[in-house]
Amino acid sequence: MIYYDSANPAPNPRRVRIFAAEKGLELPTEVISIVAREQKSPEFLAINPRGQTPALKLDDGTVLTESIAICRYLEALEPQPALFGTSPEEVGAVEMWIRRVEFLVMEPLGKVWVHTHPFTAKLPMQRFTEYGESNRPRVLDGYAICDEALATAPFLAGQEFTMADIALFTTVEFASFVGIAMPDDMNNLRDWHSRVSSRPSASA
């Protein structure tokens, strides 16, 4: 097994690192430099034709891509601690919040990143700065929904730390890099961020 990783602040590879750390799993790792565009090299495109990290190559040659799919595989491999929930209600809540994080926060954040950040200005693509900037308020709208949920529970999907928290944590950290901070008045979100940041896995 080989895990194809990329350094912070890339949020999706970090999801898997945090997940593996919570499980106590050590993944043989090869780091793919996004700055050096190694993810677009012929060698890596042979592994993942989409040219994106993360990717997990299994011993039989099967390649899994997409961070949630990789974490699902690792959950099946090492069920404890359960990070996708245990009861039907927990499983549903975790999946619901993963989707909300991806659609309500990560999607608009990605548009801000692609269309406004100095790093992406170097890429061979057309950018629409006004469109990118118009997505900043959408990120904060997504934050507000998370902040409201965190008023009644310590973690996004309830009482236990789950994959939903990993998804949001890596997104919030990436947003900070992009230039979107957690609003000062979202105390629930900020307290949650402090709780998650204090976990050993957060250093991954």
Query: Which alpha helices (H) appear in 101-149, and where do they start and end?
Result: 107-116, 129-134, 136-149
The whole-model pTM stands at 0.96
Q: At CA 1, angle to CA 61 and CA 74, rounded to 5?
A: 105
On the question of pLDDT at 4 being above 80, the answer is yes
Q: Where are the beta strands (DSSP E) in 38-193?
A: 55-57, 63-65
Domain ranges of the chain: 2-77, 88-198
Residue 119 banded pLDDT, cuts 50, 70, 90? confident
Residue 155: strand pairing partners: 158
From the candidate CATH numbers 1.20.1260.10, 3.40.640.10, 3.90.1150.10, 1.20.1050.10, the one assigned to the domain spanning 88-198? 1.20.1050.10
d(CA 141, CA 122): 29
pLDDT value of residue 125: 79
d(CA 32, CA 7): 8
Write the CA distances from 87 to 152, 156, 167, integer angstroms.
19, 16, 20
Which of 10, 15, 9, 20 is CA-nearest to residue 165?
A: 15
* pLDDT (tens digit per residue) in 42-75: 999 999 999 999 999 999 999 999 999 999 999 9
Q: CATH for 2-77?
A: 3.40.30.10
